[in-house]
Structure 1
Amino acid sequence: MNYYTIQPPLILMPYVRCFWVLEHDFGADEESYIYRSIADGCVEMVFHYQAAFDELIKDGAAHNWQSGIHFQSNTYRRFETKQSFGIFGAYIYPFAVPYFFNVPSEKTSNEMLDLDTFLGIEGKELEEKIMTAGDNNKRAEILAAFLEKRLQHARLKDDAIAISIKHVIHCGEVSSVEQLASRFNLSTRQFDRKFKEYAGFSPKMYMRLVRLSNALKQQGNNKSLGRIAYECGYYDQSHFIHDVKAFTGYHPGFYFSGKAEGTEYLYV
Structure 2
Amino acid sequence: MRYETIPPPPHLAHIIRFFWVMEGEVGYTHHNMADACVEMLFHYRGCFDEIDNLGERSRSFTAGLHGATHVLRHYTIDAGFSIFGVYFYPQAIPLLFSLPASELTNDTAELRYLLKSAGTQLEEEIMEAGNDQERCRIICRFTEQRLAAHYTIELPVFAAIRHIIHHKPAGSISELARQYYLSERQFERQFKQYAGLSPKLFSRIIRFQAATSFYKRDVMSLAGIALECGYYDQSHFINDFKAFSGLHPKQFFSGHSGATDWRD
Report the TM-score, using the length of structure 1 for normalisation.
0.93
Deviations 1:103-146 (A, max 9, x none): 11122211111221222221111111111111111111112111
Is 1:219 paired with 2:223?
no
Contact residue 218 and residue 228 of structure 1 kept, 8 A: yes
Candidates 5, 15, 37, aligned match of 1:42: 37
* AA matched with 1:215: A
* AA matched with 1:194: Q
Percent same amino acid among aligned pairs?
40
Deviations 1:75-130 (A, max 9, x none): 22110011111110100000121110001112221111122122222111111111
The alpha carbon displacement at 1:168 in A equals 0.3
Mapping of residues 105-184 of structure 1, within 5 Å = 105-184=101-180
SS at 1:256 equivalent: helix
Deviations 1:37-94 (A, max 9, x none): 1111100000111111111112314233312111111122110011111110100000
SS at 2:149 equivalent: coil
Is 1:24 paired with 2:21?
no
Deviations 1:155-207 (A, max 9, x none): 34352100000110001331210110111122211211111111111111010
* AA matched with 2:255: G
> Equivalents in 1 of 2:260, 2:113: separation in Å?
29
Contact residue 55 and residue 65 of structure 1 kept, 8 A: no
Counting matched residue pairs gives 262
Contact residue 195 and residue 202 of structure 1 kept, 8 A: yes
Report the TM-score, using the length of structure 2 for normalisation.
0.94
SS at 1:47 equivalent: strand
> Equivalents in 1 of 2:94, 2:100: separation in Å?
5
> Equivalents in 2 of 1:218, 1:40: separation in Å?
16
> Equivalents in 2 of 1:175, 1:265: separation in Å?
33
Contact residue 68 and residue 90 of structure 2 kept, 8 A: yes
> Equivalents in 2 of 1:189, 1:71: separation in Å?
23
Higher mean Cα deviation, 241-250 or 172-181? 172-181
Higher mean Cα deviation, 102-111 or 61-70? 61-70
Unaligned runs of 5+ in 2: none
Is 1:256 paired with 2:253?
yes
SS at 1:94 equivalent: coil
Contact residue 66 and residue 104 of structure 2 kept, 8 A: no
CA pair 237-5 structure 1, distance change in 2 beyond 3 A? same
Root-mean-square deviation (Å): 1.4
Contact residue 11 and residue 148 of structure 1 kept, 8 A: no
Unaligned runs of 5+ in 1: 27-31
Contact residue 75 and residue 246 of structure 1 kept, 8 A: no
Candidates 88, 95, 99, aligned match of 1:92: 88
The residue number in structure 2 matching 1:52 is 47
